Amino acid sequence: MKLTLKLVVAAMATAGLGSSVLAAGTNHPSVDKALAHLKGLSAASQTADADAFSARDVVVDADGSTHVRFDRSFKGLRVIGGDLVVHADSRGNFRQSSQTLREALSTDTEARYDDAAAIQYAQSLFSGTAEGKPQSQLVIYARGATPALAYDVVMFGMREGAPSRMHMIVDANSMQLLDKYDEVMTATSTGTAKTLTSGDVPITTDSTVRPRLTYFALRDPSRGNNYTTNLKNKTSGTGSLFNDKDNVWGNNATTDTATAGADAHYGLGLTWDYYKNTFGRNGIDGIGSTTYSRVHYSTNYVNAFWDDGCFCMTYGDGDGVTYLPLVAIDVAGHEMTHGVTSRTAGLIYSGESGGLNEATSDIMGTMVEFAANNPVNPPNYLIGERIYTANNGVPTPTTALRYMFKPFLDGQSPDCYSGNIGQKDVHYSSGVANHFFYLLAEGAVIPPGFSGKIASTSQLVCNGNTAIVGVGRDAAAKIWYRALTVYMTSSTNYAAARVATLNAAGDLFGVGSTQYNAVAAAWSAVSVL
């Protein structure tokens, strides 16, 4: 038996219960004693003459008992699953060893296949995107019933949105996969997003531990492993996951490419939470599936979109003059809600159903903004107000893409229903439903900052009913969500939306309840009869 002591590593924090772990390089006498025990007790400790051991750490209890952990090699080959701990009392007397190896190794170390074959086989099995050259090492794999000569092939790359350092253990004589495991382990951590539109906010990220390197990624293990990538001005692909050393993301300005990522990641988390906390919905599809946001799409792109194909959101950078990157809270909520709609009512994106689809996104995007209640991006019934450069830092902006309380302030969206509304672009035909929602939630109230643009409350309704009283945002949102998920179908039009929301209000609050009657009054006030 050849016993060698190569190094003592692992300078870990002091263990609990009065034990301590010795610092790296400590040449503790218990190591030599433990090696001597292995030599003298080879039968009891499953050691072979061709074994060699290197001590990895030593735990010393308060009473002086020692626990020396060793890695094992056999004929110079690393033995996966061959590690063991030798326990001794305070006087150095052997107590027992802990290990999973059941008998001394006697494995033939002549391989039938070479490592190139093993690498090729492992590459064919890797489900992620590989980066760089795989590494391969001949080892003894001793985790199975019978120890086997194998190649430990390590593939580097990205897998399921996270960095991967995947070990594929390939039998060197049969080319069978014996085991695989990812060395990269992640944990939830809280980072700081220095956003463009919402100030400095906490976000959930993950910390990724690779040997000798910890870094962070814009990936949220607490919310479906959702993640955020940088498209670097391309128009296709998944993009690169944002990584960071200090878990502080962006600099509140577009000079740091991570800033837009910070906003998008924040908005994604807010939207996820809103659906979960308000409706008990687990993610966009209701079963918690992972989605992702791609920022820096194309160049000077003034839009954002949801794509059912990739189950992902995409954000442009704006034109750099009038428009900032389109990563504000309500835009994020809007885009994710398209995913919710496609998995529930499936409102077809044309005609009146298309307008209802768009309105659903504006309504829920706004509700996400209210739930966030961010002081830098205060909630309101404007859509996309924070993508305007001129609104940066303005607490009560009056310029936006759309105005739910009076849609025609955009010059395109009708305030009131008419029979040809389905011929308009869905971003304009949505106005009537947005208007309905505002009146249902708030009543005929002129919002802050708009008394100059809206002369009287009579301009907020189509039928002169300025006495209409709102039922509150929460009740209104619950009614809309239930209508969307229970009663609306792919071709629901405005008349059917009235019926669907009345059904929903009846279910939630009772037929003839205040809320039920308010739904009827709000639709009537936008000329949907």
Nearest-approach distance from CB 156 to Zn ion, in angstroms = 38
Instruction: Give the nearer residue to Zn ion in terms of CB position, either 230 or 361.
Output: 361
In angstroms, the Cα distances linking 268 to 261, 292, 293, 438 are 10, 8, 8, 24
Q: Which of 67, 87, 427, 435 is catalytic?
A: 427
Total site size for Zn ion, rule CB under 5 A? 1
Residue tagged 């405005």 (tokens):
494
Q: Token pair of 255, please? A: 């000079």
Nearest-approach distance from CB 361 to Zn ion, in angstroms = 5
Residue 30 binds Zn ion (CB under 5 A) = no
Nearest-approach distance from CB 427 to Zn ion, in angstroms = 7
Annotated catalytic, 335? yes
Name the percent of the chain in helix, strand, coil, to the closest 5: 30, 25, 45
Q: Token pair of 135, please? A: 């590494």
Determine the residue with CB nearest Zn ion: 361
* 371/187 Cα distance (integer angstroms): 27
Instruction: Give the nearer residue to Zn ion in terms of CB position, either 195 or 314.
Output: 314
Nearest-approach distance from CB 342 to Zn ion, in angstroms = 11
Task: Tell me how crowded residue 78 is: count the other CB atoms within 10 A of its CB.
Answer: 16
Using the rule CB under 5 A, which residue among 45, 230, 342, 361 binds Zn ion? 361
What are the contacts of 16-20 at 24+ separation with CB within 8 A? 17/61, 17/62, 18/61, 18/62, 19/59, 19/60, 19/61, 19/62, 20/59, 20/60
Task: Tell me how crowded residue 478 is: count the other CB atoms within 10 A of its CB.
Answer: 20
Instruction: Give the nearer residue to Zn ion in terms of CB position, either 33 or 338.
Output: 338
Q: Mapping DSSP to helix (H, G, I), strand (E, B) and coil, where does residue 390 land?
A: helix
Task: Give the list of residues 6+ apart from residue 2 with CB closer than 8 angstroms, or none.
Answer: 49, 50, 51, 52
Nearest-approach distance from CB 467 to Zn ion, in angstroms = 33
Nearest-approach distance from CB 409 to Zn ion, in angstroms = 18
- Left (φ > 0), alpha (ψ -120 to 50) or beta: where does 311 sit? left
Instruction: Give the nearer residue to Zn ion in terms of CB position, either 136 or 361.
Output: 361
Q: Taking CA 471 as the corner, what is the angle to CA 465 and CA 473, rounded to the nearest 5 degrees?
A: 120
Nearest-approach distance from CB 261 to Zn ion, in angstroms = 21
Please choose, from the candidates 446, 486, 496, the residue with its C-alpha nearest in 3D space to the C-alpha of residue 470: 446
Strand partners, 203: 191
Q: Which of 335, 352, 369, 385 is catalytic?
A: 335
Q: Is the distance from CB of 229 to CB of 238 less than 8 angstroms?
A: yes
Residues carrying an active site annotation? 335, 427
State the residues that interact with Zn ion by CB under 5 A: 361
